[in-house]
Structure formats: C-alpha cells, structure tokens
Structure 1
Amino acid sequence: MKIYKFLHEGRARFGVLEDGGAVRALRGSPFDGDMALGDERWRLEALQLLAPTVERPRIFGVGFNYRSHILETGRPLPDIPPLFMKPDTSLLAPGGAIVYPRGSTIVHYEAELVAVIGRRARHVRQEDALAHVLGYTCGNDVSERTIQRQEMAMGLMTLGKAFDSFAPIGPCIETALDPGALRLRGRLNGTQVQEGETADLLFGVDALVAYLSRAITLLPGDLIMTGTPAGVGPLRPGDRVEVEIEGIGTLANDVVEERA
C-alpha cells in the first residue's frame, strides 16, 4: 500500500493509491492508527505532495552504513551505528527546493532509504523491530561537507547535516516492502550517480530500530535515514537531484541558491 500526504483546501490530508492512479482519502492519519477510507478521490498528478510523515518529525540519520560507501572513504567498519539527528526544519517535500547555503562551496547529495515509524517503540528486540515500522520512503541526506568535516575532526556531526531543506523526503510511504532487498539509485541532472542495494547495509532497519529504542522512545512519524551507498557527490544551484527506490518511486528536488 502506498500512502501519500498532500495539501487539500489548505490542510494536510492522507490518502492511499488505488489501481488506476487515483488517491483515495483516509479519514484520519495513519500515525494515529486511523486507516479508515473516505469517499473522496483525486488524481495523483493533481495533488501537491507533502513529506509523508507528521508535521514535525524527529529525523535520525546514520553515517557510514553501506559497506560500499565506507570503503570509498577508507574508514574501518563501525562497531555501532554512527548516529546523528537532523532538525524538523530540514524536512522538505517532494518537489521542494533544496536551498544551497550562502558561502558554501561543497554540498553533497546522499540517496537513502528511510524507515517511517508507525508504532511507539521502546526496548524493542531486533526480531520484533519491523512490526513498529509503518513503511518506507525515499530520502536525500543533503550535507554541507566543509562544516561536516570540521565537526567530524572534533567527533561531532550536527550542523553540516542540519541546514533548512536538507532532508527531502517522499514521495510516499510503501508499507509492503522487504527493507533488506531493495535497489536504490541517485540521479543528478538525469545522469545516474549512485546505485546500491540495501543488502549492503551494515546495520539493517531492524537493527537500527532496536538500537535506537534502547535509549529513545520512538514515536509514530519518526524517520530513520538509513545511510547512503557509494557515489556521493556535489550539488550546485540549478541542479536537479532524484532518489529512486524500487517499489516506492522517485523523489525529485531542484537546487536553488539562497537569497539574502
């Protein structure tokens, strides 16, 4: 099942994709456990899509989680997931503009699978972890590398990941996927620049949910960006970046220069 969030008559609504391309309204929110179908329907292409989560989600990121990406950086395999967080102000809808910060010279795309939490989770066993995941979507962990490298030299990873618009998410949540057997691709201006398989993840979604829930109560709508495969590279204003994951779809965003 594909769940979309969209703007309708000034308010956010959720709906599910039906055969034939229509989106049928949900009466409530899947994050409140309300999956009752309404009667309204719209054509998908006519909808203004929003990031498919709660209004202000917590966004957890994982660095160096694909073996291919770790190898290209020359780093050893980590013993635990290298975690960081992105603020909710970094959240960006499908089709929204990634803002290239004033004064920056190195900003990179990172194509990622994102797990969307659907049920409260605390002290979850790894074998039970996926039962707390509503589904999966596409994400782009946009990163300001100059700041990130300065932070990492001090053992930190915060501001370089945290700029406004640096967490594009979407276009929908797919609930019926095996997160350990997906192919993802990143494209820049139509050219493929990243390709990977989630089988290459060092820490899978089940391990990440279990690990995070040891310390943090995960809540419906929380997002876990699971890491990026090899091939990360620079963005510039005027670029168009796409993240495609089989079974989910394509997340596309343009890059614009920050204005005063």
Structure 2
Amino acid sequence: MRTRIVAVLIALVGASVSACGGDPPVPEGLVLKGSAPATPYGGPLRAKTPDTAEDNVQGGGAAVLALECAGKPYQGGGGDDGWGGSDGADSPAAALNALVTDELAGSLPHRGYRVEREQGRRVLYSYDVGGRTRAAVIVAKDLPRRPGWGMEAYAQCDPAEFARRERAGLDIRVWTDRAGRPVPVSRVFSTEGPEHCDWQSVTFLHVGDRQYLRDPGHVLPRELVRSSYAPKTRLPEGATDTGYRDGRRQLWLSADKLNAYVRTGSGVERWPGAVEQIACM
C-alpha cells in the first residue's frame, strides 16, 4: 500500500509542476549529440529572405540561406506570430521542440537535428540527410517584446528530401515513383482531413494543381466533387498510369483528369476530383 501511495504522490507532484508552467521534456533524439558538420553554414544567422525565394518561404530569412536542397525550398517563415508562450522557452532545444511538436508538427521532422552554429543569442539547428541541410531552424533569446527562447526563422526543403523515418511521421503523405523513389510533394501528395471539420475520414490527394478525394463516408457536400467515391469500379478507357505509388496503391487518372483511379491489392477505387480546391478553415 505504501508503494502505491508514494507512486500516486509522485504523479500528483509531476502534474502540479506541469500545471504551474515550464517546458515539456525535450524528447531523446530531437537533438543529436556530436560535433557540427565538417563544413557548417558560415553565413549570417540574421538576414533578409533572398529576393529569389518563392512566396511560400518568405520570412525564412537566414534559415533559407542555410538550406542545401536538391530542389527549391519548400516553405519557411518567421516567429513573429508566436513565441512558444508569453515567456518563451527556457532553452534553445525547448524552443525547437515547441516548433516541431506544435506549430509545424505536420511538416518538419520530429528528430535528428544538430547544432550547426551558435552566435551570440542565436542557435542554428539543422536537419541533414546525406550531409546536406534539408531543414534549418534558428532560435533566438530575448528579442524585443519576445522574452525567453523562441523560433526566429525556419526553412525546409521538400518533405520528399527527408529520410524515410522522418517522412513517415509527417501529416503529409509522400508518394513514390515506380522505382520506390520519393516524389516531391510539389508534384503529388496526400493528407488526411482535419478533425475539427469532421473530415478525418477523407483523404485529400493533390496532383499538381488538381485535387481528388477519397470520401468513403460521403461527408463532403455532393456539389463540391465532380462525381462520387466508388469503392469498387473498373479503370475507364483511356486512363493512364501516373507512376505514382503509395505502398500498394497505384495512381491512375482518367483521360480528362477529372477523376483519379487508385488500384489496390483488391481492386480499383474511384476518387472524384474536386470542382475547386477544398480546404477546412
């Protein structure tokens, strides 16, 4: 009985400490131990976003400069809209953890970062694959009107450039080609619908600027889609194989590209195209 009472007291004390504030524990593996890369980023840790950057990376600042993408940078931004709470975080690692588990949990790797550079009150964390930086996060301490540690800027390459383990933890589903190589999400990706709109049973598939929907529960209004979801059908005449794969799924498109057809191990499903891009606000 005494052991049980002690255990309960420990649990209550832990809950009390958590409720009174403080950063959540930094998970093991978020920041790797060891030295910086052989050729760390040597540029400034505070800079304007390059003029050549796409709109989706505006605000990424020096983090964009630290990237070493195979393709174009995927997205980036600054920390003006949030500082991990009014008092910020207690440490650089805690600020990084807040970013990858809360603000950008669906698009950034949740582990595998390393301290690439420290300068004054700024720390550059990099997530590397094959010795090249695929995601960069700059955290800073005690900026004007933003006390404590928080994210000042971040930028990332296309999620297809992340390692397989980290891709598996993203909200975005990265598809592959026939050879099993990841395809940039600028060309194809899928994601599950958001719970706050009760769309969690819907799969949203994006192929270029087109959107297709797997809606087995028919929760989306009929007027939003060009046809209806069919769990069992046949490939129509003229359908073409895109070469895109998601495990055993094979993506085909109708000749007019108004509907997607997904071959599985048990048959063919029709995923209707959206009349216009659908998003839950």
TM class by smaller structure: under 0.3
Q: Which has the higher strand share?
A: 1
Rg larger for: 2
TM-score (norm 1): 0.24
TM-score (norm 2): 0.23
